[in-house]
Amino acid sequence: MGAQETRELLPGTLDMLILKVLSRGDMHGYDIASAIQRASDGVLGVMEGALYPALHRLEVRGWVRSRWGTSDNNRRAKFYRLSALGRRALDEEAAYWDRVAAAVSRVMQSV
Amino acid sequence: MKRVVINDAISWWNRLLTFFGAGRRARDIDDEIAFHLAMRQAEHERAGLAPEIARRAAARQFGNVTALKEQTHDMWKFPSFESLVRDVRYAFRTLRRAPGFAFVAVVVLAIGIGATAAMFSLVDTMLVRGLPYPQADRLVVLIGNVQRAGGVERRGNSYPDHVDWRARATSFEDMAAFTTLNATLQGADEPEPIVGEAVSVPYFTLLGVSPTQGRGFTPEEDAVPNRNAVVILGDGLWRRRFGADPSVLNRTIQLGTRTYTIVGVMPAGFTGVSDTAQFWEPFAQSGAQFDNRGSRGFQTIARLKPGATITSARAELDTISRQLATAYPQTNDKRGVEVSPLADVVLQQLRPIVVALMAAVSLVLLIACANVAGLLISRSDARQREIAVRTALGAGPGRLLRQLITESCVLAMLGAVAGMAVAQISLPSLIAASPIAFPTFVQPQLSLRVLAFGIVMALLTGVLLGLAPMMHARLPRLSDALKTSARGGSSGMRSQRLRSALVIGEVALAVLLLAGAGLMIRSIQKLAAIDPGFEAANVLMVNATIPRQAAPPAAPGTAAAAPAPFVSSHADVLDRIRAVPGVEAVSLASDLPFGGSSAVFYSAEGDATVAAETMPRAYVHRVTPEFFATLRIRLEAGRTFLPSEERTDSQAVVVSHNVTRRFWPNQDPIGKRIKFGAPGSQNPWLTIVGVVDEVKYRGLPENPTRDPDLYLPYVDRATQGVIVRTRVEPSSLTSAVRAAIRNGNASILTFNAQTLADVVAQQSSASRFTGWLLSVFAATALVLSVVGLYGVMSYLVAQRTREFGIRLALGASREEIVRRVLRDGMWRVAIGAAIGLAATTGLARVLAGLVYGVGTFDISSLLAVVMLVVVAIAACGVPAVRATRVDPAIALRSE
C-alpha cells in the first residue's frame, strides 16, 4: 500500500463507477466496493470509505434510491438502486468518459 | 443548464424531506459503515487473519472513519449560513452597481407584493379568521322562508314557531331569537337615536361572549308577557354615557319613555350579530306579537351540537316545518326554514367582492413578476461575461444558480418590505373610504400571518425570478464570452423568445384586468341608468320621531291603546317645512325609500286565489297626498288622496300598476275594491282611487320581490319619514328642515338626514367600490405591461442598431425602419391581446353577482383591447423612432 495507491480517482469518476456497478442490480455499499475492486483487478480498491459520501451525494441528487434490507448473511444493510435519473446520468457520463479517455490516450501515444 | 436547475431543485427537495430526521440519518450512516467494516473484517478473517488484525486491516482500507462519516452526513446539509450571508452580501453589491435596475425592480415588485399582501390581510380577517366568536363555524342563522310562485323567499320567524323549533329540534345546543331595536336615548342635552338588539336569554352564551360586568338576562326577565325593564349596555355606550363607571350596575338609563335598570356591560368590540347594537334588552321587550304564529319578522341564531351538520339540521327543521304546516295550515302552509352559517349571512355581500379583488391583485403580481423577469433576463445577457469569468474560476452551475436566486430574492424581499409598508398605511384608509360597510371586526393589521404571507410571496417570487434567466441561458464558455462577437448568439435568441413570451403574457393579463374593470364600469353605468320610478335628484329625506303629549303609563301592550295627541300634528309639520325657503314640495310617509316596510296579504274583490304560493301580497305605505308629486311618481289613473281621506277609517287606496294588471287587466281599475287578508276576512273593503307606476322603493337594481305597493292615507304616527323636494342643493336645507320639524321642541327627534340621490347611490356602492378598485388594478397592470413592452422593444432596437445602420446606409427609408420595429412589437401585442380576450369569457364567472345587466362578452372588452393597443403603439413607437436616428456611420463602427 504505497503512496501511489492513495492517489485519488479523477473527480467525478467514482460517481460514474458507482452508477455503472448499480446498473447491474441493487447492492449495498460493501458489495459496490467489492465489485469495483474485483472488476478493476484490485487497482481501484483503496480508500473504500470515500464510497459513502459519494453514495449519499448521489442519493441527495436523486440518481440513486436506498432502502434498508437484509444482507446474504442476515444482517441489516442499506441497499442502493439506480433511479431513472441516475441511468440517464450514467449514459451521459459514460459517453463523456469514453471521449475523454480516448482523447487522453491518443495524446499519450502520439507524443 | 436546465438539467442543473432540475438537479438542484431535486437536491433541495430531498434535503428538505429529511431535514427533521438528521439524528436518525446519523445513526443510519453509523450502521451502514459498521456493516461495511464488519463485512470486510469477516472477509479478512476467512483469509486467515486474526480478528484484531482483520479489524485493523478493514479500518485501514476504509480510511478515516470519523471524517468520512462527517463528510457523508454533510452531503445532506443545506449550504451553510455563512455562505448564504456571503451570497446576500454579494447580491447587494451587485445591485448597488446597477441602481437604476434595482430601483425599478423593487418598485414594480413592491406594487405587486404590496397589493397582494393588502388584499390578503382582508381575505385573512374576513374569510380565514372569520367571525370573532369561539367555534364560529358552528353558529347558524335560522330564517323562516316561504315557497311562493316566484321561488323561495326569506321572511323571518314568528315567536310561536321559534318556541316550537327550540323545543323540538335536537341538532342544536341552543337557539336564541334576536331583532334590532331603535330607541331614543334620553337624559343628555339632546335625545339621541341609538340602535340595540332584543335578544332571548341564550343569546350571549350561545355566541360565547360574556359580560365584562354584571350578567346576562334571566328567564324571568325574558318571560312573556312580563316586561322587566332591564338592559345590558355595550362597551361604547357605557364609556360614552357613564364615563366607564365601574359601579354602573343597577343604575338606570332612560330609553324612550321608559327607565331601564342596567344589569350588565358587554366587552369592547361586541356589537351583536347585527353589528350595530349599543344595548340589549330581553326579547320579551321586542314588541313582537308573541302569540301570533303568522306575524314574522325576527331571526334566530343557533349553535350546532358537536355531531350535527348543517345538512342534518336542515333535514330536522324540514320535518318540524312539515309538522307545523299540518298543525297550523292557516299560518304555516308552504313555510320552511333556511339554515345558513352565520358567516355566510354576515359576509354574504363582501365575499364575492374580496375574492374578485384578490384574483385581480394576483394578476397584477404576475404581471409585476413577468416584468422583473424580463429585466433580469436582459441583465443576465449583459452579465454573460461576468458569469463566464466566474465559471472559469471554478463556480459550478449550482453555485451560480444559487447566486442568481439570492439576488432575485433580495430584490423581492426589498420589494415586499416596501410593498407591505405601503399596504399597511393605505389599507385602513381604503376601508374607511369604502362605500360598502365592512363588519366592525374587520380591522386588517400587520398580523404575523400577513407578514408570513408577504415573506412567502417574496421568496416564491425571488426563486421564480432567479430561475427565469437560467432557464434559457447556457453556461457560457469563457472564450466565447470574452470575444465581443459572441453577442447575438443562440443564447440571445433564446432570451429574446422568453422575453417575448413574458410580454405576451403581460399583455394578456392586462387585457383581462382592463376588460374586468370595463365590465364593472359598464355595469355601474347600467345601474345608474335604471329608472327607479321616482326622481331622486333634489330630494332630502329626514326621519322624525314625534312623541305623544303626555307619556301614558307603562302598560301599553297594543299600539292602539290610549291615543294621546302628538306634540305636533303632521299637518303642522308639513306647513312649517313648506315655509322653508328653497322647498318645492314636502310629504310624509310611514317609511322612506329603501328604509324597509312590511308585506301584507290582500285580496281583490272577485278573485278566488287561495294557494299560499300565489296569494296576493303587497307592501303598504301610508303617505300624505303630495307624496306622489314630491317624488314625481307618475299617476297612471285616478287621483291621489283628498285631505278629507286622512283618517284611520278611510277606505281609499292607491295601488301600483301591477295590482290592476293582475286583477283587472282590461278594465278601468278606479272604483274596484281590495281588502287586507283573505276575501272572507272581517277587514273592510278599500276602494281604489288611483293607480301609480311601479317604483323600485325597496331595492335597486330590483325590488327584492316583485310584489306591488299599496298606498294608504297618512294618519298621525310617532315615527315617520319626511320627504322634501328642493329647488336648491338638498343637503343645504338639512338644518333648516330639521329645525322646522322640531320647532324648538326638544322631545321631537330628527335623524338620518340624507339626500335621496345618496341613498340611491348606496344601493350600487358594492359595484362602484369593486369597479373603482378594479380600475386602479387594471391601470397598474396597463402601466406595468407597457413598461415591459417598452423594455423589450428598446432592447431589441439597441441590439439591431448595426442592422438598422446598414439598412439606412443601403437606402432604406426611415418610415420603413419604424414600420419594421412597430411590426416587431405589435405581433407580440396582438397575440397577447387575443389570449387575454379569449380569457375574458371566464370573467363573468368571477364577477357573477357583482355585475348588473352586462353579458359575458361586452363591448368594453374590445375597448380594453383598443386602449391597450394604442398605448402599446406608443411604447413601440419611441424605440422605433430612436432606431431611425441611428447614424449609419456610427452604427457600423459601434462594434
Residue of A nearest to B78 (CA): A60
Helix (H) or strand (E) holding A65: strand A64-70
What is the rounded CA–CA span in Å between residue B358 and residue B122? 9
Judged by a CB distance cut-off of 8 A, whether residue B70 touches chain A is no
Which range marks the domain in which residue A54 is found? 10-110
Does residue A35 belong to any structural domain of this protein? yes
At B892 the pLDDT is 66
Q: A–B: how many Cβ contacts below 8 A? A: 80
At B709 the pLDDT is 94
Backbone angles phi, psi at B689, to 5 degrees: -105, -15
Judged by a CB distance cut-off of 8 A, whether residue B137 touches chain A is no
At B625 the pLDDT is 94
Does residue A93 belong to any structural domain of this protein? yes
Q: Which of B569-578, B766-775, B850-859 is predicted least confidently? A: B850-859
Non-local CB neighbours of B731 within 8 Å, separated by 6+ positions: B540, B755
What is the rounded CA–CA span in Å between residue B425 and residue B421? 6
Mean pLDDT, all residues of chain B: 84
How far apart are the CA of B494 and the nearest CA of chain A, in angstroms? 24
Domain holding A59: CATH number? 1.10.10.10
Q: Which of B55-69, B594-608, B658-672 is predicted least confidently? A: B594-608
What is the rounded CA–CA span in Å between residue B571 and residue B584? 16
Instruction: Kindly list the domain boundaries of chain B, sorted by start residue.
Output: 19-75, 137-347, 350-528+765-893, 539-761
Give the model confidence (pLDDT) of A6-39 as tens digits: 455 666 788 888 999 999 889 999 989 888 888 8
Beta carbons within 10 angstroms of residue B428's beta carbon:
12
The dihedral sign for the CA sequence A79, A81, A86, A87: positive
* DSSP state, residue B298: B
How far apart are the CA of B35 and the nearest CA of chain A, in angstroms? 7
At B476 the pLDDT is 52
Count the domains in chain A.
Answer: 1
Mean pLDDT of B393-406: 74
At B397 the pLDDT is 67
Mean pLDDT of B330-351: 87
Judged by a CB distance cut-off of 8 A, whether residue B611 touches chain A is no
**Which has more confidence, B729 or B807?**
B729
Q: Which residue of B61, B70, B76 to mutate against A (max A Cβ within 10 Å)?
A: B61
Judged by a CB distance cut-off of 8 A, whether residue B62 touches chain A is yes
A81 pLDDT band, cuts 50/70/90, is very high
Give the model confidence (pLDDT) of B290-339 as tens digits: 888 988 889 999 999 998 999 999 999 999 999 999 999 888 888 999 99
What is the rounded CA–CA span in Å between residue B216 and residue B280? 10
* Nearest-CB residue to B10 (from A1, A56, A61): A61
Mean pLDDT of B530-554: 82
How far apart are the CA of A54 and the nearest CA of chain B, in angstroms? 8
At B859 the pLDDT is 78
Chain-chain contact of B75 with A75 (C-beta, under 8 angstroms): no
ipTM, 2 decimals?
0.88
* Nearest-CB residue to A61 (from B11, B32, B74): B11
How far apart are the CA of B399 and the nearest CA of chain A, in angstroms? 15
Question: Cis before residue B225, ω within 30 degrees of 0?
Answer: yes
What is the rounded CA–CA span in Å between residue B856 and residue B470? 40
Measured CA angle at B371 (ends B368, B374), to 5 deg = 150
Residue of A nearest to B60 (CA): A47
> Is the pLDDT reported for residue B378 higher than 80?
no
pTM of the model: 0.70
Chain-chain contact of B14 with A62 (C-beta, under 8 angstroms): yes
Residue type, B840: T
User: Please, where are the H alpha helices in B275-336?
Assistant: 310-327, 329-332
Give the model confidence (pLDDT) of B431-457 as tens digits: 777 777 777 777 766 678 888 888 888
Non-local CB neighbours of B669 within 8 Å, separated by 6+ positions: B637, B638, B655, B659, B660, B663, B688, B691
Judged by a CB distance cut-off of 8 A, whether residue B33 touches chain A is yes
What is the rounded CA–CA span in Å between residue B394 and residue B230? 83
Mean pLDDT of B691-710: 89
- Which chain B residues are within 8 Å of A78, Cβ to Cβ? 28, 31-32, 35
Question: Cis before residue B704, ω within 30 degrees of 0?
Answer: no
> Is the pLDDT reported for residue B487 higher than 50?
no
B490 pLDDT band, cuts 50/70/90, is very low
Burial (CB count <10 Å: 0-12, 13-18, 19+), residue B557: exposed
At B488 the pLDDT is 43
At A4 the pLDDT is 39
Give the model confidence (pLDDT) of B617-653 as tens digits: 899 999 999 999 999 999 999 999 998 898 888 999 9
Helix (H) or strand (E) holding B659: helix B657-663
The four Cα atoms B155, B156, B162, B164 give a dihedral, to 10 degrees, of 0
Tell me if B396 sits within 8 A of B403, measured CB to CB.
Answer: no
Does residue A34 belong to any structural domain of this protein? yes
Residue of A nearest to B25 (CA): A56
The dihedral sign for the CA sequence B117, B122, B126, B129: positive
C-alpha cell at B260: 331601564
CA distances from B309 to B273, B313, B318, B415, B621 (A): 21, 6, 14, 45, 41
Non-local CB neighbours of B198 within 8 Å, separated by 6+ positions: B178, B179, B180, B181, B280, B281, B282, B283, B284, B285, B286, B287, B288, B298
- Which chain B residues are within 8 Å of A57, Cβ to Cβ? 75
Give the model confidence (pLDDT) of B75-130 as tens digits: 887 766 677 788 888 888 888 888 888 888 898 889 888 888 888 888 888 777 77
Residue type, B870: V
* DSSP state, residue B266: P
What is the rounded CA–CA span in Å between residue B228 and residue B285? 8
At B479 the pLDDT is 53
Backbone angles phi, psi at B348, to 5 degrees: -45, -50
- Which chain B residues are within 8 Å of A50, Cβ to Cβ? 63, 68
CA-atom Rg of chain B in angstroms: 38
Tell me if A71 sits within 8 A of A77, measured CB to CB.
Answer: yes
Give the model confidence (pLDDT) of B800-849 as tens digits: 777 888 888 888 888 888 888 888 888 888 999 899 888 887 776 777 77
Non-local CB neighbours of B874 within 8 Å, separated by 6+ positions: B786
